[in-house]
Amino acid sequence: MTLQEMINASLLAGGHDEVAGFIRQETQRQNSAIELIASENFPSDAVKAAAASDFVAKYTEGYPQQRESGNRGRYYGGCENADALEEYCCRKWKQVFSTDYHVNVQPHSGSSANLAAFLSVLKPGDTVLSMSLENGGHLTHGSPVNFSGRLFDFHFYGVDDTGRISYEALDELLYSCKPKLVLAGASAYSREIDFRRIGELIDRYAAAGGERPWFMVDMAHIAGLVAAGVHQSPFGVADIITTTTHKTLRGTRGGLIFCKPELARKVDSAVFPGSQGGPLQHIIAAKAVTADEDCTEQYRDYIRRVVANTKAMCDEFIRMGYDVVTGGTDNHLFLVDFSRTHPDLTGKAVQNMLDEEGITLNKNCVPNEKRSPVEASGVRIGCAAMTTKGYDEEDFRAVARRIDSLIRGYCASL
């Protein structure tokens, strides 16, 4: 019996026919769709089994007894197994990134990790410098509709005419905004982020008399590439590093925070009691399994294939005459910009049209976007999920050609 069959049988035995039906339909959708959403992936049955374990029933507010930050102790009894699990999970994540940074595995999500990271070193109203949402940043990096933009005074750097991060703009903003924190990381950026260069700009600013800002990296999208050594690592450069565990790390949904050891107490306090109550121990079990998997050579090989597949698919779009932002990709995603080649086509229309054909991706703003984010002039394409399903470079080229033919048909029908 497969894991999904066992889940189905348990739900039916409990009389939850309708819920079982929704889950079966989602399994069918995931099995039949071509999944190109850059922030999604397919975790293993082992990850899913851990997430469904008896730890779901355990309340464990606080931290294990062996905690280097000093924030030790749980508020309830019966936590000895949870303590052992959480300590193991922390050790394994340090191993994934070969780091002696402190790690907190309790954040429920990437957004919760970012909230706690901000709260650990900032006060409300403090100035933060981050990459703008229109240029590839994330909602939690200062959007006015998000807690980040409401709590802190965000200023933004963006991309230059080539679509690449403008390190010059970032440098100038350091001096004009005097931020308390500089944030690097993105949701829709296809090129390697030069963390060392940002660290050097901060060093130079501090040497010139500026008050040294904290350097935070949100590596949610590229964490798997960092783990596999195919993207520059923020460890050793950034003070605080956040990530999700469900994108290229291919694990359960969830978040992690790493920090330099001297920030351990502040970060732990900002997670609990600062911004969360009891951690999700069943998800910590699933994060531990994710870390087990991500330490392996098999996983590193997977990530190398993701990068090769993404380049192959991206090159095929370019060969067919499409505009790709920055003219290519270094990671697991790329952005197709329709604004010059198909001025009447919106990202939303392409997303909806492909959805009906069983190809799932998302609309995305492009540099110098003229449309609202709801319409957008481009799409974001990621290759991590279908690489998990076994697609190779030729499969991805074939999908690119199929998307092109569907777009042609759609434009002809307008």
149 binds ligand PLP (CB under 6 A): no
146 binds ligand PLP (CB under 6 A): no
Q: Which residue is nearest to ligand PLP (CB)?
A: 110
* Binds ligand PLP (CB under 6 A): choice among 41, 104, 111, 329: 111
* Binds ligand PLP (CB under 6 A): choice among 138, 250, 282, 332: 138
User: Catalytic annotation on 247?
Assistant: yes
CA distance 293 to 248: 12
39 binds ligand PLP (CB under 6 A): yes
CA distance 63 to 74: 6
CA distance 127 to 125: 7
Binding segment for ligand PLP (CB under 6 A), chosen from 22-30, 106-114, 351-359, 367-375, is: 106-114
Binding segment for ligand PLP (CB under 6 A), chosen from 182-190, 207-215, 285-293, 307-315, is: 182-190
Question: CA end-to-end span of the chain, whole Å?
Answer: 48
The footprint of ligand PLP on residues 4-23 (CB under 6 A) is: none
CA distance 196 to 206: 15
CA distance 334 to 325: 7
Cα distances from 164 to residues 190, 217, 231, in angstroms, run 9, 17, 16
User: Catalytic annotation on 61?
Assistant: yes
Nearer to ligand PLP, 79 or 284 (CB): 284
Number of residues that bind ligand PLP (CB under 6 A): 15
Given 59, 88, 167, 410, which residue is catalytic? 59
- Amino acid residing at 249: L
Stretch (H or E) spanning 18: helix 17-32
**Residue partners of 201: CB distance under 8 A and separation at least 6:** 167, 170, 171, 174
Q: How far is the CB of 271 from ligand PLP (least distance, A)?
A: 14
Q: Check residue 193 and report its DSSP letter.
A: -
**Residue partners of 31: CB distance under 8 A and separation at least 6:** none
Nearer to ligand PLP, 116 or 230 (CB): 116
Nearer to ligand PLP, 11 or 103 (CB): 103
| Greatest Cα-to-Cα distance within the chain, rounded to the nearest angstrom | 69
Site string for ligand PLP, 253-292 (x = CB under 6 A): --x-------------------------------------
Binding segment for ligand PLP (CB under 6 A), chosen from 110-118, 119-127, 357-365, 366-374, is: 110-118
* Binds ligand PLP (CB under 6 A): choice among 122, 173, 216, 220: 220
CA distance 284 to 391: 30
Closest by Cα among 302, 297, 299, 258 to 116: 258
CA distance 115 to 119: 6
Given 140, 242, 243, 244, which residue is catalytic? 244
Give the pair of three-digit tokens for residue 287. 């994060």
* φ, ψ dihedrals at 189, nearest 5°: -140, 125
* Binds ligand PLP (CB under 6 A): choice among 60, 120, 146, 187: 187
134 binds ligand PLP (CB under 6 A): no
Given 24, 40, 48, 61, which residue is catalytic? 61
148 binds ligand PLP (CB under 6 A): no
User: Catalytic annotation on 260?
Assistant: no
User: Catalytic annotation on 59?
Assistant: yes
CA distance 364 to 347: 6
* Binds ligand PLP (CB under 6 A): choice among 110, 199, 347, 378: 110
* Binds ligand PLP (CB under 6 A): choice among 83, 86, 134, 218: 218
DSSP β-ladder status, 378-382 and 362-364: antiparallel
Give the pair of three-digit tokens for residue 12. 């039916």
**Residue partners of 352: CB distance under 8 A and separation at least 6:** none
Given 72, 94, 178, 253, which residue is catalytic? 253
109 binds ligand PLP (CB under 6 A): yes
Binding segment for ligand PLP (CB under 6 A), chosen from 86-94, 105-113, 143-151, 389-397, is: 105-113
Site string for ligand PLP, 229-248 (x = CB under 6 A): ---------------x----
CA distance 144 to 350: 27
221 binds ligand PLP (CB under 6 A): yes
Stretch (H or E) spanning 374: none
- Where in the sequence numbering do the catalytic residues fall? 59, 61, 218, 244, 247, 253
Residues forming contacts to ligand PLP in the complex (CB under 6 A) are 39, 109-111, 114, 138, 140, 185-187, 218, 220-221, 244, 255
